Amino acid sequence: MMNKHLIVLVLALFVAAGAGTGWFLFQQSSKLKSLNDNQAQHQAEEIRQKVVSEAINSTLADNASRNASSDGSIDTRQAEAVQANQTREEATGSWAQRSFFTSDLVQDVAQLFVEHYHPPHRPDDRGRVQISFKTLNAQYGMDFLTLHAPQNGVKEVRERVLGYAMRPAVMQSLYGKYAQKVVDALQNQADQASLPRTGSGGEDRGAGLSRTQTAEMFGLYAGYFQDLSRLLSACSDYQNLTEDVQGLLQAEQAAEQAGFLLHKADHALEQTGEKNLNRLEQEKTAAKENYRQALRRREQSKERILQRIQDLAPEMRLPSHEILYVAKWVQRRWTQGQNGEALEVASELLQDFAARLQSRRQQILSAPQS
């Protein structure tokens, strides 16, 4: 029911939520951020190519192994190379875990969370977090992959990493290893955050989050991950999700096409003379009605999905656009043959992570003030 996809460690760390595509070079990303001269950039490129080459070669070896077992066309040397590669991986552990899932990623995720928390401007206001499944997907998936991966081999690397990271046992292992470290790193990052504040002399000075703000941040993220857990669980229980999401995708495409035809008819009417005026006006009227109906069908498709998920998760309070984004993400995983076990594990881990965040919030509030 769920495929390998982006957000893997954030869904594995925070419960295997899934934006992990871009992690395949994360260990190198901290190096890339600090490179300011040509020599350092050249070194970074060598590092990047080495890791990517390892991933691609490992993938190609697996492909060769599959081809050999299916048609018997592989030669002896190629078979030996495949066996050597598999033995090397078994002996040293997964290259994906060695290269991507490191303590550096923990710090990066914590920093991302702090940056997406916005404290209140006034004492009587409430802070907010601007985090979403889409944000995590973009941060650790599409944007990073596009920026740092070579044009060739990207798909193979991505499938390789996600095929490893989305295994339920791997998600549970990664979560057990890193979840508490993320909680600790998040509090440390909050203490070190640079926020604009005005000093006694009127000057701006940087300062970390206050105790109240840090506690609020933990509470807000606990609420978000609790809701995300509920959403994934609802998607897992949604028997007709694939069909309903496919219907929505078709309705969205139809609405886009109808909008294009309306624009085309409107443009033709503006350019015509008196000779074809009546015919073009009729065509525009018909196009306008088709567009209106297409929009209505699109909204009906959205409402069907939203209502079903709300029925399955009545306590979930995520916005409609987030629900639909995750529903489409899950549908893609299912249509690519993923079963539901990984989705269920992700939901359980997210729920546990939310509880850890809430527990840390209580500890912060109950700690004696210095």
The Cα 77–Cα 197 span in angstroms is 66
CA distances (Å), 177 to each of 25, 93, 103, 137, 214, in order?
20, 16, 10, 22, 24
Residue 281 lies in a domain: no
- Domain region containing 209: 8-239+338-366
Residue 166 lies in a domain: yes
Residue 327 has a pLDDT of 97
Residue 336 has a pLDDT of 74
Burial of 274 (0-12, 13-18, 19+ CB in 10 A): exposed
Domain count for the chain? 1
Residue 317 lies in a domain: no
Mean pLDDT of 264-284: 85
**What integer best gives the mean pLDDT of the chain?**
77
The DSSP-derived string for 98-138 is HHTSSHHHHHHHHHHHHHTEE--SSTTS--EE---HHHHHI
Residue 137 lies in a domain: yes
Locate the DSSP E strands across 49-185. Answer: 117-118, 128-129
CA dihedral in degrees (254, 329, 304, 289; nearest 10)? -10
Nearest Cα residue to 327 out of 341, 343, 345 = 343
pLDDT-derived band at 212 (thresholds 50, 70, 90) equals: very high
Whether residue 335 has pLDDT greater than 70: yes
Tokens matching residue 141? 């998936």
Phi-psi region of 102 (alpha: psi -120 to 50; beta: other; left: phi over 0): beta
Residue 252 lies in a domain: no
**Higher per-residue confidence, 134 vs 84:** 134
The Cα 8–Cα 6 span in angstroms is 5
CA angle 96, 97, 100 (to 5 degrees): 75
Write out pLDDT tens, residues 4-55: 444 444 555 444 434 343 444 444 444 444 444 455 455 545 545 555 555 5
The Cα 350–Cα 228 span in angstroms is 7
The answer to whether the beta carbons of residues 148 and 30 sit under 8 Å apart is no
Residue 303 lies in a domain: no
Whether residue 314 has pLDDT greater than 60: yes
Write out pLDDT tens, residues 79-119: 665 565 555 444 333 555 666 667 888 898 999 999 999 99
Residue 327 lies in a domain: no
Nearest Cα residue to 9 out of 32, 34, 29, 26 = 26
Length of the chain: 370
pLDDT-derived band at 359 (thresholds 50, 70, 90) equals: very high
Say which range, 126-130, 140-144, 147-151, 277-281, has the weakest mean pLDDT. Answer: 147-151
Residue 291 lies in a domain: no
52: which residues sit within 8 A by CB, 6+ positions away? 24, 25, 149, 150, 153, 157
